[in-house]
Structure 1
């Protein structure tokens, strides 16, 4: 027996030695092709595996413990054309050198939102608007809505007491699916997604797909999908800390730490924002009279978000991850205005796995849970509460399980199939009958990306949905891309489906308006909304210049809105002046045209911008949809120049739009144009330190809409403001 044991041990040791002997290292450098300068932070990875790394300050990279064989290596770096090369690894070490060419546009960047799979922006069959890191940095935005107003004419944000209400091409936040790293942002403020948790300092890029995307993403995607991709680093250690100070007590800071230890990766971030708020007018409307008020157009507020993600590569094919995020926000009101402010609390966590099957095939499994709570936070003793006490008003809980497979059937076909289960719960004491409501959705979907002929590709997909309250629905989508030299032509048809939310069905609340009260009611008799979206676009691209024009029409049946109904005698006796209830507009929709252009002028100068015309109508009553303007636009002029250890970036940005329609006594919201100047001064310090000092002026021409509080506003800009920020980054 001892001899047998020794023999087995020797065999085992020899087997292990043989296995490890087959593994080696892949090393090399990544440099700029023209200058030969090393590129720091370039991504190097084996396509179809979990193996990858980034280059160090000398442009070098090392990927250890790689099995011998032939791999497709992809090398990418922001601002450069991506390189794809087939490499055969043999022996203990394989070396390679990669030279990247400077890209004068973002068209070579990879986008994933339109199809759920990677595509170069230029060749993506579903039209995708990309807001890249360079543009995000140049705008130097205070928050998410400030950023999107500065970069895209298709977006608008209507000011609200508890936060801004987002629109894309005339349809509101209810019809826009907002994702962070592909995961749905959940929890609403007054029916609108709470976007305060998004800090532009932590955003790598934003991908926007307009129109119905229900086939791939399900409900809430009738107007479009906004996917916010956050910053991540593959360096061994990357630290970023930034602080921004501005007018009206603005203080925004962001801190992040990325660590990569072989198979284990960790991403940690902390964001905090605060403002003292401001008034636009010292007066408010009370019926037809003006009264002095302390109410603020922008209330004082503080918020923070903490996010932690851990990823682990179990093998070269299988990886797992867990992630948790905590968000808290307090909105303060003066004691003379209200006895309480508002407080929001959200905790979300996700967990998942990805298994690479080889040759572009993979399976993913994701579990997502989100718990969003809304409170009154008292600023004085009242209603049996003390100052700083909180009284919970609503609690929203969403759990989702998603299983997806991507299979490369041939060179001409890539199939995506999946299933999703979503369960939502809403709790509220005093605002719901029975204090609790819930709904679930089951869905199956499939999508085929096909290459029909050399210059023609298409995406065909469909989703089957079964909703607890509203039965089944079928939502197909078809997109096609035809390339003709420097021109791209795209066409899309898609059908959307959106069940009424639990709040739209069952929720009721009252809202003080001066000395009066407005009452808002749910409606359990609502019908689900369906849409038919058509779009055609033409795009012209040459080196350093791009121009696109898109015409679209989005017809929505049973669109949910508010209507004014008769106030009951009991409610009138309790001070209710006006009662509004959800209802279905049988026929509604938007149509319009978008223009976008970007051009590099040489000598470091660039220009860009766009224009959006929107015709949004309630076709049943033949009037415009409320809160929508007809004309929106952006323009920007940029300049970048590099010295040895210093880079200067300057950006002049303009936003304009005309008045927004409102069908009430307050009248339309005024149009406006705002101009912003930003400068960024980058210093390359000793070692791996990079310092970014930014300074700017917002609303250069000091425009202020001083209409009485309670009026409809196009913008609540307080006038000319100033800011300065410092960011320090360390990569090793």
Structure 2
């Protein structure tokens, strides 16, 4: 891997030195201003030379300056979050221009990249994609990404892992290991709770937007993407000087502080981020006894009552740091690198604890972008991501590494656009993983490799109808070749857009599912056993959606059906000596189906609303019983009112979500049978009021868990993340470029 990477770099450097950098004798300078319809400058607007890697951002006065390498015909693309993008064809004598952008009443003009790896307006993407914008994130003002996703995505729920206490996720009937999380389009290593990413790695203050591709519809992503893709797009420097400072305090022992500094010049850009977060540990208590009802073989019932007890919830103290660098060598060639570091010390509720868990991650990602022609684009990406877990023994000053996950991913991607009617995307990818895990025998190591070729061809038959077929070839070092086809289609009119598709999915067993050999808790209670004979999971997904967009109204209704073959689960077995084991198996087939509706209204007087509802039918049959803990009904709502008085803007928002109760069956290891359980409904609501002052100062006050909801039974379930009751927060953010008029 490393030899191939360095060889490619040494090949590319002389090639671009000779052919990539244009001669300077044809240079021309273009300056200008970018305003909104009210005549006010738009600071941080993007000015991109279409068909090249060249672009700049406007300063606090809306000014920009571009240095072009030739006098050939040039088209500039102007964009700003919340505004309709505009293209401007430069004339030969243009040296100073003024562009006015019109505010958009919805987010359909915003660009997304996840489904095809190229920037496209959301309204033109055939694959069902949901976007969470920066403005939506600010109105919720969350401490953690788990809270943000629950307020924004109906059908998502987070639970608590019984071992680590960290969040586990389910979305539309699929568990966390079926969702692929990306940062700027790149995969992550490691896990927090079992089979879930470490959600604490996502720093809210770094997020520009979130793109959600539902299901396995995109050919560009394979294993671990059967349930969908959540791509976290981080911020970039958009002005000659970018600077932001923010702090957030909450009455339940939460605090968050961050600073970012950057610059975007004609050829060079840089952005540096530092962040500190802390959440105090706490203890929550049951307010009601829980019970299990077990059905015996003779048809009688046994009821087990669980006494009220307390549950300790760990806190954390963590640091994030990242550095982005980008250099545009020529109009056709650019390179960028991002280096990030993450350190999370998990805080115990018990001061007498002998050790603390410490999580670390180091990531480096490098991308090379090359426009072969105006309509042909080549990009190369390499990612190294190393995630580790340690025990820090407090009394003897000793570290013990118990987990080390190292991934290396190299990808070469080609995109070509022909006559605006055909977009071809093809690429190759090499993915290697080396994992050391405390659940392996003697904390051993295992590895695998995956080699990928994908091709996706979007064909626009008319202005209103397009089809995207695709094929993905995964060659796994253990499971050999798997081919998965996909096809999506879009039909749209002035107000109605229809999307539909079919996708075949493939997920190879994880190294942990193959090789675990772990005495749970070290107490001899039971053994967790991997299974080297596991077969890969396959899936089939069908989706259909409709979207109406008319004036202030945006309404979408989508449906899906997923079937899984050889789904990997766990089964209770006893070995020849009678010792109990939990063994990974290819269980009975499973299916999920559901619908989701989202209604958005944006009124002209500053009021905007969003209501969403989802229904999920998740059936996971074991011995004729449904063992799914996915709550079938979910509702989210967001209301925001913006009022501008002179130079001061106030934003008041109310956000909430409700999840229905559910009847399910769970395995009782003592009784060696399945018991009935009922999980009660949950409802959480928050309110915020923010003030935007002149000179880039934002103040915010809020109340979380406004209705003081508390779960009644916490100790007997891992399907929830406990709430502490009502809490109050205050936050402040300062835009340094506006403060100092830079």
For the criterion TM > 0.5, the same-fold answer is: yes
Matches within 5 A, 1:357-372: 357-372=372-387
Using the TM superposition, give the Cα deviation of residue 267 of structure 1 relative to its aligned residue in structure 2, in angstroms. Answer: 1.4
C-alpha distance in structure 2 between counterparts of 1:488 and 1:294, whole Å: 51
Q: Deviations over 1:378-407 (max 9, x none)?
A: 35x5xxxx2x53221121111111001111
C-alpha distance in structure 2 between counterparts of 1:124 and 1:334, whole Å: 48
Using the TM superposition, give the Cα deviation of residue 162 of structure 1 relative to its aligned residue in structure 2, in angstroms. Answer: 3.5
Partner of 2:167: 164
CA contact (8 A) 1:705 1:715 kept: no
Partner of 1:490: 499
Gaps of 5+ in 1: 1-17, 572-577
C-alpha distance in structure 1 between counterparts of 2:448 and 2:57, whole Å: 45
Q: Deviations over 1:109-142 (max 9, x none)?
A: 1111122222211121111101111111101111
C-alpha distance in structure 1 between counterparts of 2:336 and 2:493, whole Å: 42
Partner of 1:674: 684
Asked if 1:406 corresponds to 2:381, the answer is: no
C-alpha distance in structure 2 between counterparts of 1:551 and 1:47, whole Å: 36
C-alpha distance in structure 1 between counterparts of 2:306 and 2:624, whole Å: 33
Partner of 2:452: 443
Partner of 1:22: 26
CA contact (8 A) 1:321 1:353 kept: yes
1:52 pairs with 31, 42, 55, which one?
A: 55
CA contact (8 A) 2:65 2:266 kept: no
C-alpha distance in structure 2 between counterparts of 1:343 and 1:19, whole Å: 52
Using the TM superposition, give the Cα deviation of residue 485 of structure 1 relative to its aligned residue in structure 2, in angstroms. Answer: 2.3
CA contact (8 A) 1:662 1:669 kept: no
Partner of 2:367: 352
Task: Decide whether aligned partners of structure 1 residues 458 and 292 sit closer, same or farther in structure 2, where only a CA change above 3 A counts.
Answer: closer
3-state secondary structure, aligned to 1:215: coil
2:720 pairs with 701, 714, 719, which one?
A: 714
Q: Deviations over 1:409-441 (max 9, x none)?
A: 343211111101111111246723782211101
CA contact (8 A) 1:617 1:623 kept: no
Task: Decide whether aligned partners of structure 1 residues 510 and 544 sit closer, same or farther in structure 2, where only a CA change above 3 A counts.
Answer: farther
Using the TM superposition, give the Cα deviation of residue 343 of structure 1 relative to its aligned residue in structure 2, in angstroms. Answer: 1.7
Partner of 1:61: 64
1:550 pairs with 547, 552, 558, which one?
A: 558
Asked if 1:683 corresponds to 2:693, the answer is: yes
CA contact (8 A) 2:24 2:69 kept: no
CA contact (8 A) 1:293 1:337 kept: no
CA contact (8 A) 1:659 1:714 kept: no
CA contact (8 A) 2:82 2:106 kept: yes
C-alpha distance in structure 1 between counterparts of 2:520 and 2:276, whole Å: 28
Q: Comparing 93-102 with 531-540, which one deviates more in the overlay?
A: 93-102
Asked if 1:377 corresponds to 2:396, the answer is: no
Q: Deviations over 1:608-653 (max 9, x none)?
A: 1201100011256444343311111101211011223211111111
Asked if 1:135 corresponds to 2:136, the answer is: yes
CA contact (8 A) 1:214 1:496 kept: no
C-alpha distance in structure 2 between counterparts of 1:508 and 1:449, whole Å: 46
Q: Comparing 348-357 with 654-663, which one deviates more in the overlay?
A: 654-663
CA contact (8 A) 1:212 1:221 kept: yes
Task: Decide whether aligned partners of structure 1 residues 722 and 521 sit closer, same or farther in structure 2, where only a CA change above 3 A counts.
Answer: farther
Runs of 4+ more than 6 Å apart = 282-294
Partner of 1:702: 708
CA contact (8 A) 1:553 1:590 kept: yes
Partner of 1:13: none
CA contact (8 A) 2:509 2:536 kept: yes
C-alpha distance in structure 1 between counterparts of 2:439 and 2:128, whole Å: 45
Asked if 1:635 corresponds to 2:637, the answer is: yes
Partner of 2:405: 396
CA contact (8 A) 2:336 2:368 kept: yes
Matches within 5 A, 1:187-336: 187-189=190-192, 190-213=194-217, 215-281=219-285, 295-296=311-312, 298-335=313-350
Partner of 1:522: 530
CA contact (8 A) 2:127 2:218 kept: no
1:584 pairs with 550, 572, 586, which one?
A: 586
CA contact (8 A) 2:616 2:631 kept: yes
1:43 pairs with 24, 46, 62, which one?
A: 46
C-alpha distance in structure 2 between counterparts of 1:162 and 1:78, whole Å: 37
C-alpha distance in structure 2 between counterparts of 1:142 and 1:681, whole Å: 19
Partner of 1:174: 177
3-state secondary structure, aligned to 1:188: coil
Task: Decide whether aligned partners of structure 1 residues 117 and 701 sit closer, same or farther in structure 2, where only a CA change above 3 A counts.
Answer: same
Task: Decide whether aligned partners of structure 1 residues 37 and 336 sit closer, same or farther in structure 2, where only a CA change above 3 A counts.
Answer: closer
CA contact (8 A) 1:672 1:714 kept: no
2:478 pairs with 448, 465, 469, which one?
A: 469
* Aligned-CA RMSD value: 2.4
Partner of 1:626: 628
C-alpha distance in structure 1 between counterparts of 2:118 and 2:621, whole Å: 37
Using the TM superposition, give the Cα deviation of residue 516 of structure 1 relative to its aligned residue in structure 2, in angstroms. Answer: 8.6
Partner of 2:735: 729
Partner of 1:8: none
Using the TM superposition, give the Cα deviation of residue 580 of structure 1 relative to its aligned residue in structure 2, in angstroms. Answer: 2.3
Q: Comparing 186-195 with 591-600, which one deviates more in the overlay?
A: 186-195
Q: Deviations over 1:633-683 (max 9, x none)?
A: 101211011223211111111100012435245834332111110111111
Asked if 1:82 corresponds to 2:73, the answer is: no
CA contact (8 A) 2:311 2:714 kept: no
C-alpha distance in structure 2 between counterparts of 1:260 and 1:38, whole Å: 18
3-state secondary structure, aligned to 2:213: strand
C-alpha distance in structure 2 between counterparts of 1:282 and 1:553, whole Å: 37
3-state secondary structure, aligned to 1:217: coil
Partner of 1:539: 547
Partner of 2:123: 122
3-state secondary structure, aligned to 1:201: helix
Using the TM superposition, give the Cα deviation of residue 50 of structure 1 relative to its aligned residue in structure 2, in angstroms. Answer: 2.2
Q: Comparing 262-271 with 441-450, which one deviates more in the overlay?
A: 262-271
C-alpha distance in structure 2 between counterparts of 1:430 and 1:531, whole Å: 28
Partner of 1:574: none
Using the TM superposition, give the Cα deviation of residue 357 of structure 1 relative to its aligned residue in structure 2, in angstroms. Answer: 1.6
C-alpha distance in structure 1 between counterparts of 2:438 and 2:145, whole Å: 32
CA contact (8 A) 2:710 2:723 kept: yes
Q: Comparing 20-29 with 221-230, which one deviates more in the overlay?
A: 20-29
Q: Deviations over 1:317-341 (max 9, x none)?
A: 1111222111111112244785433
CA contact (8 A) 1:344 1:374 kept: yes
3-state secondary structure, aligned to 2:177: helix
C-alpha distance in structure 2 between counterparts of 1:721 and 1:227, whole Å: 30
Q: Deviations over 1:317-371 (max 9, x none)?
A: 1111222111111112244785433221111111121111222211111111111
